[in-house]
Amino acid sequence: MSALMIRNLHKSYGSLEILAGINLEAKTGEFVALVGPSGCGKSTLLAMIAGLETVTSGEIWIGDRLVNSVRPKDRDIAMVFQSYALYPTMTVRQNITFGMESRGVPKAAQAEAVQRVAALLQIEQLLKRKPGQLSGGQRQRVAMGRALVRDPKLFLFDEPLSNLDAKLRVDMRTEIKKLHHRVGKTTVYVTHDQVEAMTLASRIAVMNQGSVQQFDTPKRIYDRPTNMFVAGFMGSPAMNFIPARLTGSTSISVRAADGSDASLALAAPMSAGAPKDVVLGIRPEHIYRFTTDLKSRKPAVASMQAPVELVEPTGAETLAVLRLGDLEITGRFEPDDAPVMGETITLGIDMSRACLFDPTTKALL
Amino acid sequence: MSTHDLIVPAAAAAARPWRERLGTMVPILVLAPSIAASFIYVFVFTFWTLYISLSNSSLLPTYGFVGLDNYASLWANRRWNIAYTNLFLFSGFYIVGSMAVGLLLAIAIDQRVRGEAVWRTIFLYPLAVSFIVTGTVWSWLYNPVDGIQAFVRGLGWTDFSFALTANRNTAIYAVIITGIWQSSGFAMALFLAGLRSVDPDLVKAAQIDGASVFRTYRRVILPTIAPIFLAVAVIQIQFAIKTFDLVAALTRGGPGVSTTFPAIYVYDLMFQRGQIGEGAAAAMMMLAAVAVVLVPYSLWIVWRRRAEGRNG
């Protein structure tokens, strides 16, 4: 059974269409991430699931209930907001119990639930403090505590980590993942950070301009992006897009730096209906320095020459900007084996990992 | 630091102190007139009034010391006692009333009503009218012969009675109602600004937590804007204590002495009856009434600032 099912959901403000026919599903216990650039409608979608925005048309099912016109408090959900939305005048304990208090849960049960959640999130020593006296990470924890104490069917997170500094964000990300493993609640998590989506989710819905571009596992989304938007959005540094021409069913040619055409053999033959002009999508980490050893390990490697324009060491890896025709591509190298600026290296491109796109429809071929 | 930095050419050494001195003098020069004015008008005159209240001054200030005689004769006067009681009665009802009405109006407007700007202007308009005009117009409305009573009787309810200002027991409530009408719009404007500053996510969180609208306001929104309650109260208190023109125009302190206020009483003593000493004593009592409220408030502000400083 799925905990959340969304069918052909539309949302518009007057003539402005925010969501154009969303179909989405989360199985019980699943962690679904909604990811996309700002303005893609992901937060609106979450607010509609929560019942904070009205539905223009379509259906939202939570469990086996159609909740289109059910009030937020009766939807059996809990939400963590981007701003945390902790009640500033209440103590942490009151923040956590406010919902139970509103529902008339007996005091003893409230105390017990607070104890359980506080222990789970290690915030026992903070219960008497007010939100203003907490650090960003602690507020984050309290906000999660307020959601957890409800024991809801569905957890909603609206960019919960975007107000934290970089280091804390990574820590809290790990903690959310651990928490999800322990609690096992169905979760819908909105983020604009594709790394967060990749690390946390069991399935990712990549959204753009009010529609879901691809809804799949992180690995599938990363390896076989369904179109150029998904390919470019997921992964950092972004996938390189290289215009290429199909020269047969198993080879393409690209323009090299010196203006000559370099031929690259495809790992699998193209179908006959494919267009002549294609876009070769290759991720930076699938570009290597060509060696015979590499060729024996990865038989699908194709080689070509490229001058190195710029080298960016980041410590764990070294990014190199390489010239290819009139465009620049990025390659990711081992720091010990990194090219130097001005060098012309022989690239080994792992064609088994390459994606080919149709330049007009932008779709994966 | 290298030694070069320490060797300054002779000319520059001479110029710099002068410029620096001028730089430090400018703020003092600019502020001096207002500091002097506020010192003279607030402290010097307050202490002068205090001294006069202890003197035997009558038509003109004289400096024969009579101790607390003026205060004794002031408190022996029935009219002063009524005036001082009126001050507290009026302040209490007026502040609570205008805040309650203002808050309700603000909450009503905060529900994203249509034509919000129009409502806001309408409710804020009374504040643009001077107390004299308000008092005069409302004195007509309260007038049994050609006010609200006459109007309703004209509609057919011939037993209708609405003559608050004609009765010495109810006249003070006429003043209170008029005061509330005048300043609840002001309270509304401040409350509305406060309500608008509340993070909308808080309301959404309360909605998901299952709190009713009433509960959301009482437990979440209103506590968040508590400082605004305080600001409104403090501003209203000094309005209330200064009350003079509203009463002067509305009831002229009557019927009898039932709506006399300390400010009217002071004016009477000082400028009508030539008893400056006793008038000064009455003025000091008004100062005391303000101080009772404002001193604890400012102490609380200082304490809170320190507390916040401690919490970092």
Structural domain count, chain A: 2
How far apart (Å, rounded) are the C-alpha atoms in residues B68 and B80? 16
Domain layout of chain B by residue ranges: 3-53, 78-311
Q: Does A28 touch chain B (CB under 8 A)?
A: no
A99 and A209 fall within a common domain: yes
How far apart (Å, rounded) are the C-alpha atoms in residues B89 and B310? 39
Round the CA-based radius of gyration of chain B to a whole number and report it.
27
Q: Residues B3-12: pLDDT tens digits?
A: 455 555 555 5
Put simply, the answer to whether B208 touches A83 (Cβ < 8 Å) is: no
Residue-level pLDDT at B312 = 42
Cβ proximity of B240 and B94 under 8 Å:
yes
Of B201, B215, B224, which is closest to A102 when you measure between CB atoms? B215
**Per-residue exposure over A217-256, b if at least 16 CB sit within 10 Å of its own CB, e if not:** ebeebbeebbbbbbbebbbeeebbbbbbbbeeeebbbbbb
Question: In a 10 Å sphere around its CB, with 0-12 CB exposed, 13-18 middle and 19+ buried, how is residue B50 labelled?
Answer: middle
Of B199, B215, B223, which is closest to A85 when you measure between CB atoms? B199
A197 and A133 fall within a common domain: yes
The CATH number linked to A272 is 2.40.50.140
**Two tokens at B66?**
């009579």
Higher pLDDT pick, B312 / A48: A48
With beta carbons under 8 A apart, name residues in chain A contacting B205: 79, 81, 85, 87, 146
Q: Residues B290-301: pLDDT tens digits?
A: 888 788 888 888
What does the mean pLDDT of chain A come to?
89
Q: Report the residue of A75, A77, A89 to disrupt the B interface, i.e. the one with the largest count of B CBs within 10 Å.
A: A89
A190 and A51 fall within a common domain: yes
Domain B78-311 has CATH 3.40.50.2000: no
**Range with the lowest mean pLDDT among A5-19, A99-113, A209-223, B140-154?**
B140-154
Q: Residues A11-69: pLDDT tens digits?
A: 998 888 999 989 999 999 999 999 999 889 899 999 999 999 999 999 999 988 999 98
Choose one of A233, A251, A280: the last residue of a domain: A233
Residue-level pLDDT at B147 = 79
Residue A292 lies in a domain: yes
- pTM strictly above 0.95: no
Put simply, the answer to whether B210 touches A99 (Cβ < 8 Å) is: yes
Q: Does B201 touch chain A (CB under 8 A)?
A: yes
**3-state class (DSSP) for residue B125:** helix
Put simply, the answer to whether B201 touches A102 (Cβ < 8 Å) is: no
- Which amino acid does the sequence have at B309? G
Q: Is the four-CA dihedral B163, B164, B166, B170 of positive or negative sign? A: positive
- Which amino acid does the sequence have at A130? K
pLDDT at B2 over 70: no
* Local confidence band at A1 (pLDDT 50, 70, 90 cut-offs): low
Residue A364 lies in a domain: no
With beta carbons under 8 A apart, name residues in chain B contacting A98: 206, 209, 211, 219-220
Q: Residues A300-335: pLDDT tens digits?
A: 888 888 899 999 999 889 999 998 888 899 999 998
Cβ proximity of B219 and B247 under 8 Å:
no
Higher pLDDT pick, A46 / B275: A46
Give me the residue label for tokens 């016109």: A69
**3-state class (DSSP) for residue B312:** coil
The secondary structure element, H or E, covering residue A80 is strand A77-80
The CATH number linked to A105 is 3.40.50.300
Q: Cβ neighbours of residue B48 under 8 Å, at least 6 residues apart? A: none
pLDDT at A151 over 70: yes
pLDDT at A168 over 60: yes
Put simply, the answer to whether B210 touches A73 (Cβ < 8 Å) is: yes
Task: State the count of interchain CB pairs (< 8 A) between A and B.
Answer: 68
Query: Containing domain of residue A307, as a range?
Result: 240-357
With beta carbons under 8 A apart, name residues in chain B contacting A128: none
Distance from CA of B294 to the nearest CA of A (A): 25
How far apart (Å, rounded) are the C-alpha atoms in residues A59 and A62? 10
Phi, psi of A325 (to 5 degrees): 60, -130
Distance from CA of A284 to the nearest CA of B (A): 40
What does the mean pLDDT of chain B come to?
83
How far apart (Å, rounded) are the C-alpha atoms in residues A91 and A138? 13
A218 and A255 fall within a common domain: no
Cβ proximity of B153 and B160 under 8 Å:
yes
Give me the residue label for tokens 């690239």: A347
A249 and A200 fall within a common domain: no
Residue-level pLDDT at A232 = 92
A331 and A300 fall within a common domain: yes
Phi, psi of B183 (to 5 degrees): -115, 0
